[in-house]
Amino acid sequence: MKINYLILLLISFLFNCTLERRILNPPNLEEENIDKKIVCYRPIRKNGPAMYLQTLEDKIIAHNYGHGGGGWSLAPGSAEYVINKLDARMKQLGMSKKEPIVVVGAGIIGLFSVFELIKKGYKNITIIAEDYNQLPSNHAGGLWSPFHIGDISKKKDKILTIGIKSYNFFLNIAKGKDKYFECCAKVMPAYFLKRNPDLELFVGTILKPAKQIIADFNNGFSKKMYVYDNTMIMNTPLIMSKLTDITIANNVKHIKRKIKSFSELKAKVIVNCTGYGAKQLCNDDNMVSMQGHLIVLKKQNPNNLNYLMTVPFEESYLDGHKIKRLYYLIPRHDPGTPETRIGVIGGTLVEGVEKGVDNSQEFNKVIQRARKFYVE
């Protein structure tokens, strides 16, 4: 027995020696490094995103909402998918490119939907939204990762197709081949403690297989992790800004207003990108608000934060709501801010919590988890 144990130890030692060792410098996490604390609300649809056409009285409604934490990762592909369907229906009905079209919602799904309409030559587009700034899309870190998008077991093939299209869209930007979105995306490795089931869906098509490595935190601590070397980070605020500029340049009208019913709109063609607002607007009980907590960092060394990371910690309940606590690091940098103001850490997924209850005690837990991860 003792000999067998020694043999196992030797095999383990030799295996670890063959693993690549990578330096992953931790972010600075003292009080002076905390720039801003943000509570956000992800609009998740329990049975996966809604992407279909509906005829309601005399209106054609193209639904594109409920992408949750995968909104940015799926936005280009889902917009193309839904607008292609809408375009085909309008051609079938002989409708003009000058037909008034209203896009409800100004998040990333809404803006990419407008972008697709513009590319197809539509000339009379209006965006109507309750808010244009403090949206989940504005706060997103920008990791390409179709996570937290509900139960997609019946939509796996569709999500795979849309995800691949979106990834290739951002990859084209990263390669400098897109005239609209220069410097808005970058290929970057993402680290996990285990193979990530959401990313595994894309291995063999666009993602390289996960590789086990030793993550050396350059502080005396290290641990085994898995890395997907060709994931992506998107510069979310810069893309939002460029998309907004495109809408302005193409004479898209912007109206700030909350829509409670499609019957309020005179337009016969509507693209519904309302996110959580679809719960009321479409009477969609599958919509859930997923509260999140993230912290923007400052006074960092940008050369140290050249990786993405997501690590689950625990699942429990918070005042009767399911909560998943995790640690993630995304090296997001907002345009116009110092280079040292880089990095977003999180986070939480608190199911069913709407605005009004901020659960601000979670911010300290986010920092504690981040510190703990690098020293244990």
Joined tokens for residue 346: 């999180």
**Can you tell me the mean pLDDT for 219-229?**
97
Please give the model's pTM, rounded to 2 decimal places: 0.91
**Can you tell me the mean pLDDT for 78-92?**
98
What are the structural domain ranges in the chain? 21-277+287-373
Q: Say if residue 354's pLDDT is above 90.
A: no
On the 0-12 / 13-18 / 19+ scale of CB atoms within 10 A, 153 is exposed
Q: Say if residue 5's pLDDT is above 50.
A: no
Helices (H) and strands (E) in the chain, counts: 9, 15
DSSP structure string for 230-275: EEEEE-HHHHHHHHHHHHHHTT-EEEE---S-GGG---SEEEE--G
Joined tokens for residue 253: 């009208």
Q: Say if residue 1's pLDDT is above 90.
A: no
- Cβ partners under 8 Å of residue 265, min gap 6: 59, 102, 104, 128, 259
- The per-residue pLDDT for 137 is 87
Task: Give all strands (DSSP E) within the chain, no chain letters.
Answer: 21-23, 34-45, 50-56, 59-65, 101-104, 125-129, 185-192, 211-216, 222-234, 253-256, 269-272, 287-297, 308-318, 321-330, 344-351
User: What distance in Å separates the CA atoms of residue 359 and residue 373, rounded to the nearest whole number?
Assistant: 22
Q: Say if residue 7's pLDDT is above 80.
A: no
- The per-residue pLDDT for 87 is 98
- The per-residue pLDDT for 96 is 96
- The per-residue pLDDT for 4 is 54
Residue 187: which of 197, 174, 177 has the closest Cα?
Answer: 174
Q: What's the CA angle centered on 114, arms 113 and 115, to 5 degrees?
A: 90
Q: Say if residue 136's pLDDT is above 60.
A: yes
Our measurement of the distance from residue 152's CA atom to the centroid of its chain's CA atoms, rounded to an integer in Å, reads 16
Contact in structure between 311 and 192 (CB atoms under 8 Å): yes
Joined tokens for residue 166: 């979106």
pLDDT in tens, 42-51: 999 999 999 9
Q: Say if residue 346's pLDDT is above 50.
A: yes
**Can you tell me the mean pLDDT for 247-266?**
95
Q: Say if residue 246's pLDDT is above 70.
A: yes
Residue 290's φ and ψ, nearest 5 degrees, are -110, 105
Q: Say if residue 10's pLDDT is above 50.
A: no
Contact in structure between 72 and 111 (CB atoms under 8 Å): no
Comparing 109-118, 130-139, 185-194, 204-213, which segment has the lowest mean pLDDT?
Answer: 130-139
**Can you tell me the mean pLDDT for 157-178?**
95
Q: Say if residue 14's pLDDT is above 60.
A: no
Q: How far apart are the first and last CA of the chain?
A: 31
**Can you tell me the mean pLDDT for 360-376?**
95
**Can you tell me the mean pLDDT for 121-144?**
90
**Can you tell me the mean pLDDT for 226-241?**
95
User: What distance in Å separates the CA atoms of residue 140 and residue 69, rounded to the nearest whole number?
Assistant: 8
- Cβ partners under 8 Å of residue 23, min gap 6: 216, 217, 218
Portion of the chain with pLDDT greater than 70, in percent = 95
Calculate the average pLDDT of the chain.
92
Q: Say if residue 11's pLDDT is above 70.
A: no
User: Which band of pLDDT confidence, cut at 50, 70 and 90, is reported for residue 148?
Assistant: confident
